[in-house]
């Protein structure tokens, strides 16, 4: 036998091409692409299906310590299970530096949480919250060599944010070592001021979360992050962009020669601030940061996906249970939006939403779908061409999509640990019906055919944008 598995009769889709081809797989790798292949233990008939690279979601929060009795709804097992059913084969999650400790210590703890738990492959971004000279001068360069080639910094949240001088120092260290820096852009001082004002007026319902974090606070911080990156000539990613004003900052920076990539997420295409104004405390289900904006912002984000302002479409899966004292409706959260944990689930619905609202509705073509959902993530974060494409030598991480399958998204068909989905009742056209991880079928229809622990940890090369 030449192959372990042949996928026959399907339409192969990459970020650049669409063609009829069989796909031969051996030892977990794609080893042949040809009009007709024979000689395998297993034949998968993909007639009528798209054969696409498995999704790579480069913005996922799992098992993240959240403090104050708040517990994230997904650990590595449930989060990666949910991701697999959503057509993904790799997720990049965040390893948060505990203030006062080293990055290595946080990584030791985080690896222990993932070890033996994952259904798909995982890799970690670092989150730098305490950029001491040891962390930036010694640890970070060594960690980049060890395959931790990206990091995130926050401009908001009192306990996470870095000052501008700390951001500059972190960017400078990242440039020297070739790490790619993701930036959460919101102006903390403005937000804290607005939260205080709303609370003083007794305006404590979930909808005031959105009013406390206006587009101007995101735009200003985006401009500042881009300026700081320009000053030290460092490549950055502006993550979870929600509106046109922030997009314009990215475009302006690019015109000046800035090295910037943009990311947006499903919530900015489908939700608005009005969702936070639901009856009772239901609006808490939609509390995330930056918050969803308005219809015009949704249009802007679609334009950004079409025109290339955004290279990345990620879920920002950051799940908390709703009806739970350790989630959205914790005792303090019921009293003020300030204490509602920020984040919503979405790792399983990201790709069906982009396929249905994007490809099926004619907003983007199928190749752009692959670029936005897989290939660009692999390129940005140093996994290409092992991941993110259908090519000889690549890992056989493949999602078979039925472009005609109609589904209604409800929480009971999903596999995450949250007790709700923000997209309850959304009808979609197009669904991943089979997923292969390194050649092995792990999702077949509604069944998990793989095993917990089959997912590997992936050390990464430097980003294609930061290679020295």
Interface positions with Zn ion (CB under 5 A): 184, 316
The stretches of 27-116 forming alpha helices (DSSP H) are 76-85, 103-114
Report phi then psi at 395, rounded to 5: -60, 140
Q: How many CB atoms lie within 10 A of CB 178?
A: 19
421: left (phi over 0), alpha (psi -120 to 50) or beta: beta
Q: Which is nearer to Zn ion, 184 or 209 (CB)?
A: 184
Q: Which one of residues 207, 213, 223, 240 is an interface residue with ligand DUC (CB under 6 A)?
A: 240
Least separation, in Å, of the C-beta of 184 and ligand DUC?
Answer: 5
Q: Counting runs of H as helices and runs of E as strands, what totals does the chain give?
A: 15, 19
Least separation, in Å, of the C-beta of 134 and ligand DUC?
Answer: 26
Least separation, in Å, of the C-beta of 240 and Zn ion?
Answer: 6
Q: Which is nearer to ligand DUC, 240 or 244 (CB)?
A: 240
Q: How far apart are CA 94 and CA 77, in angstroms?
A: 15
Q: Which is nearer to Zn ion, 113 or 440 (CB)?
A: 113
Q: How far apart are CA 283 and CA 38, in angstroms?
A: 54
Q: Residues in the chain, how many? A: 468
Q: How far apart are CA 230 and CA 180, in angstroms?
A: 14
Q: Which one of residues 125, 161, 175, 184 is an interface residue with ligand DUC (CB under 6 A)?
A: 184
Q: Which is nearer to ligand DUC, 3 or 148 (CB)?
A: 148
Mind giving me the DSSP string for 276-287?
Answer: GG-TTTGGGGG-
Q: Which is nearer to ligand DUC, 204 or 238 (CB)?
A: 238
Radius of gyration of the chain (CA): 21
Is residue 343 a contact residue for ligand DUC (CB under 6 A)? Answer: yes
Least separation, in Å, of the C-beta of 270 and ligand DUC?
Answer: 17
Is residue 342 a contact residue for ligand DUC (CB under 6 A)? Answer: yes
Is residue 318 a contact residue for ligand DUC (CB under 6 A)? Answer: yes
Least separation, in Å, of the C-beta of 370 and Zn ion?
Answer: 23
- For residue 83, the Cα-to-chain-centroid distance in whole angstroms is 11
Query: Which partner in ligand DUC, Zn ion, none is near 8 (CB below 5 to 8 A by kind)?
Result: none
Q: Which is nearer to ligand DUC, 152 or 438 (CB)?
A: 152
Is residue 285 a contact residue for ligand DUC (CB under 6 A)? Answer: no
* Collapsed DSSP state (helix, strand, coil) of residue 440: strand
Is residue 93 a contact residue for ligand DUC (CB under 6 A)? Answer: no
Q: Is the Cα dihedral 307, 310, 313, 319 positive or negative?
A: negative
Is residue 316 a contact residue for ligand DUC (CB under 6 A)? Answer: yes
What mask, x for binding ligand DUC by CB under 6 A, covers residues 424 to 463? ----------------------------------------
Q: Which residue is nearest to ligand DUC (CB)?
A: 318
Q: Which residue is nearest to Zn ion (CB)?
A: 184
Nearest by Cα to 375 from 403, 405, 401, 397:
397
Q: Which is nearer to ligand DUC, 5 or 82 (CB)?
A: 82
Helices 164-177 and 215-231 pack at an angle, to 10 degrees, of 50
Reduced to 3 DSSP states, what percent helix, strand and coil does the chain have, rounded to the nearest 5? Answer: 35, 25, 40
Is residue 73 a contact residue for ligand DUC (CB under 6 A)? Answer: no
Query: Which partner in ligand DUC, Zn ion, none is near 342 (CB below 5 to 8 A by kind)?
Result: ligand DUC
Which residues of the chain form contacts with ligand DUC (CB under 6 A)?
61, 184, 240, 288-289, 316, 318, 342-343
């Amino acid at each position: 036998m030449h192959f372990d598995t042949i996928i026959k009769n399907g339409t192969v889709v990459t970020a650049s091409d669409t063609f009829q081809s069989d796909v031969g797989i051996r030892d977990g790798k794609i080893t042949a692409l040809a009009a007709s292949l024979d000689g395998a233990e297993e034949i998968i008939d993909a007639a009528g299906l798209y054969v696409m690279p498995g999704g790579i979601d480069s913005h996922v929060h799992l098992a993240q310590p959240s403090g104050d009795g708040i517990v994230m709804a997904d650990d590595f097992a449930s989060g990666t299970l949910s991701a697999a059913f959503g057509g993904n084969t790799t997720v990049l999650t965040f390893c948060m530096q505990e203030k006062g400790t080293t990055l290595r210590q946080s990584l030791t703890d985080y690896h222990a949480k993932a070890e033996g738990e994952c259904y798909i492959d995982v890799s970690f971004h670092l989150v730098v919250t305490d950029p001491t000279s040891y962390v930036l001068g010694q640890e970070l360069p060594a960690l980049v060599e060890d395959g931790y080639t990206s990091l995130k910094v926050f401009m908001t949240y009192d306990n996470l944010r870095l000052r501008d001088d700390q951001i500059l120092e972190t960017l400078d260290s990242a440039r020297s070592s070739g790490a790619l820096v993701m930036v959460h852009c919101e102006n903390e001082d403005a937000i804290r001021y607005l939260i205080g004002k709303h609370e003083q007026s007794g305006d404590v319902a979930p909808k005031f979360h959105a009013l406390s974090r206006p587009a101007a606070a995101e735009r200003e911080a985006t401009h500042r992050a881009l300026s700081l990156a320009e000053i030290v000539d460092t490549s950055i990613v502006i993550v979870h962009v929600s509106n046109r004003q922030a997009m314009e900052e990215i475009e302006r920076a690019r015109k000046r020669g800035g090295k910037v990539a943009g990311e947006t997420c499903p919530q900015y295409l489908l939700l608005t601030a009005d969702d936070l104004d639901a009856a009772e405390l239901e609006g808490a289900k939609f509390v995330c940061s930056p918050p969803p904006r308005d219809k015009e912002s949704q249009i802007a984000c679609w334009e950004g996906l079409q025109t290339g302002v955004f290279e990345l479409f990620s879920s920002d899966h950051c799940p908390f249970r709703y009806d739970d004292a350790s989630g959205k409706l914790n005792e303090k959260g019921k009293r003020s939006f300030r204490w509602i944990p920020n984040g919503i689930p979405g790792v399983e619905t990201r790709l069906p939403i982009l396929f249905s609202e994007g490809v099926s509705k004619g907003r983007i073509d199928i190749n752009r779908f692959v670029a936005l959902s897989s290939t660009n993530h692999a390129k940005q974060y140093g996994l290409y061409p092992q991941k993110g494409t259908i090519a000889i030598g690549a890992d056989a991480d493949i999602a078979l999509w039925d472009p005609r399958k109609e589904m209604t998204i409800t929480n009971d068909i999903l596999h995450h640990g949250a007790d709700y989905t923000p997209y309850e009742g959304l009808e979609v056209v197009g669904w991943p019906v089979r997923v292969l991880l390194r050649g092995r079928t792990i999702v077949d229809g509604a069944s998990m055919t793989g095993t917990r622990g089959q997912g590997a940890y992936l050390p990464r090369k430097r980003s294609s944008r930061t290679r020295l």
